[in-house]
Chains A and B, each alone.
Chain A
Amino acid sequence: MHIEKHPVLGRQLHTPVTIYFNDQPYQAYTQQSVAAALMANEIKKLGVSRKLVQSRGLFCSRGRCCSCYMTIDGEDHVRSCMTEVEDGMRIYPNMDDPEVRREIDED
């Protein structure tokens, strides 16, 4: 849920935009991070861990823990808590090692 009226800060949601998660449209606001905007739409699972394939979501929201990796506009392994939403952004969960690493492995 988006907070329409904050008890201290009041009404502050900026411009509404549409983002796509797994090709489904969701509403977000420009000042939000991708991870936060998804959470507002009840999406908490942002991907799975590499080794044990367990669910991962936002943990620190500070860019430190790397628990929130997602694929954003074609780029793998982006920290979704540090990336602000943009209209039309296409977001996919992090289900795997990033493309770039796989290419290196093949060499």
Chain B
Amino acid sequence: MKTDVLIIGGGPAGLSAAIETASRGLDVTIVDEASKLGGQLNQQTQALRPLPSVHEPMRGFELADKLIEQVKGFNVRPLLNHRVVGFYADGSAGITDEENVFPVKAKKIIVASGAAEKAVAFPKWTLPGIMTIGAAQTLINRDFVMPGREAVIVGSSDFAMETAIQLMDVGIRVKAIIEKQNGALAKEQEKVSELSRNGIPFYFNSFIREARGNGQVAQIDIELPDEVITLNVDLICMDGGRAPILDVFYQLGCSFGFQEELGGWVPQYSNTFQTDREDVFIAGNAAGISTQGPLLLTGMIAGISVSEELQAISPAEANEIRDAIWKELGLLECKEVYTGRVKHLENFTSPVLKDQFIS
């Protein structure tokens, strides 16, 4: 199979890259291992903000539907339930439908592989009933299944607070929020107050000492600053943060740099979102962990740059649009993340340390 642009990952960044390229007449193929486009947006019932100026305020699944509807009008071929498993010597991607592997030869590749949630380890953290906050959210909003009856949340990011509220809304009793720092980490303090108002205790400077259960979690010991308490729970949702998914970049042989604010090791890229492999561009959480609005913008930048390289748009026009999107990114993206991103770009064009490249 041949295509102009191969997009790996059909979440918000991949879809916005698809819209930018396909709307300029390019032939686009999207690979995603899920059975539906939209990525994690599909199970997000919370209101998203801030979104780029072209979008009205909406919830995650509404944004997914809107983007999916938009790509339908263009020459976009979605390969759902498909995965990239490697690359051939001639640069073609090896794609599997879980039975056969076939090559797809693309003029340019945009990798928008997203992020994976990290675990919080404590003794017996692998017992069934212990899962990531994202998994609990998926069960409730995609599968319409109660993940448990009595829960604790480990962590207090915005995402953890949103999930805690979603658990409560379906009738799960949230017994505590456990945070190892000395205060809640969420930027949106209203969510923290909403949970406190509902009588949910926040245990700061605290952690789970051990989980117990026969075949599934039933009880935990929590180490508070001056005592240890025991709670009966059948659900533990852990928020260990997220890290970019890098497998595809390893296979492509891209260089990496370490950028704490972007989520750790991230492929190196320039302000056009081109990696050090000329035919490979990057977008979304893979280029640094961010929120939904900025993720869309990074996908747009990658899409514009690819359109420029394939002469679907003039360099002058591309520069003008890219500058405008970068400005909007500066406004929408949380300050630390944006600063980290700018530092990351500088390392690409003028590396401070040679050993930052670990490819």
Instruction: Give Cα distance in the complex from A57 to B130, angstroms.
Output: 8
Instruction: Give Cα distance in the complex from A63 to B135, angstroms.
Output: 10
Residues of chain A from 55 to 107 with CB closer than 8 A to chain B in the complex? 55-64, 67, 81-82, 84
Contact of A9 among B135, B141, B145 (CB under 8 A): B141
Instruction: Give Cα distance in the complex from A8 to B278, angstroms.
Output: 44
Which chain B residue lies CB-closest to A44? B128
Q: Is the CB of A7 within 8 A of B132?
A: no
- The A interface, classified by DSSP as helix, strand, loop or mixed, is loop
Q: Is the CB of B138 within 8 A of A61?
A: yes
Q: Is the CB of B139 within 8 A of A61?
A: yes
Q: Is the CB of A6 within 8 A of B144?
A: yes
Which chain A residue lies CB-closest to B116? A64
User: B138, B143, B169 — which one has the most chain A CB atoms within 10 A of its CB?
Assistant: B143
Q: Quick check: is A46 within 8 A (CB to CB) of the other chain? A: yes
Q: Is the CB of A82 within 8 A of B138?
A: no
Interface flags, B110-153, vs A, CB<8A=1, else 0 = 00000011010000001111111011001111111111000000
Number of interface residues of A (CB under 8 A): 36
Instruction: Give Cα distance in the complex from A58 to B126, angstroms.
Output: 10
Q: Is the CB of A39 within 8 A of B139?
A: yes
Smallest CB separation, A78 vs chain B (Å): 9
A55-B144 contact in complex given A7-B170, A61-B135, A63-B33, C-beta closer than 8 Å = no
Residues of chain A from 1 to 57 with CB closer than 8 A to chain B in the complex? 1-3, 6-9, 12-13, 29, 31-33, 36-37, 39-40, 44-46, 49, 54-57
Which chain A residue lies CB-closest to B141? A9
Q: Quick check: is B232 within 8 A (CB to CB) of the other chain? A: no
On chain A, the residues within 8 Å of B170 by CB distance are 3, 6-7
Smallest CB separation, B97 vs chain A (Å): 13
Q: Is the CB of B128 within 8 A of A46?
A: yes
Interface flags, B166-209, vs A, CB<8A=1, else 0 = 00011000000000000000000000000000000000000000
Q: 26 interchain pairs (CB within 8 A)? A: A3-B144, A6-B170, A7-B170, A8-B45, A8-B141, A13-B144, A31-B144, A33-B143, A36-B138, A36-B143, A39-B139, A39-B147, A45-B215, A55-B126, A55-B128, A55-B215, A55-B216, A57-B129, A58-B139, A60-B135, A61-B131, A61-B134, A62-B135, A63-B33, A64-B245, A84-B35
Contacts A6-B170, A46-B128, A60-B134 supplied; 8 other A-B pairs, CB < 8 Å: A3-B140, A6-B140, A49-B126, A58-B131, A58-B139, A61-B131, A62-B138, A64-B117
Q: Which 4 A-B pairs have the closest CB atoms?
A: A57-B128, A36-B143, A61-B135, A44-B128
Chain A contacts to B: CB under 8 angstroms: 1-3, 6-9, 12-13, 29, 31-33, 36-37, 39-40, 44-46, 49, 54-64, 67, 81-82, 84
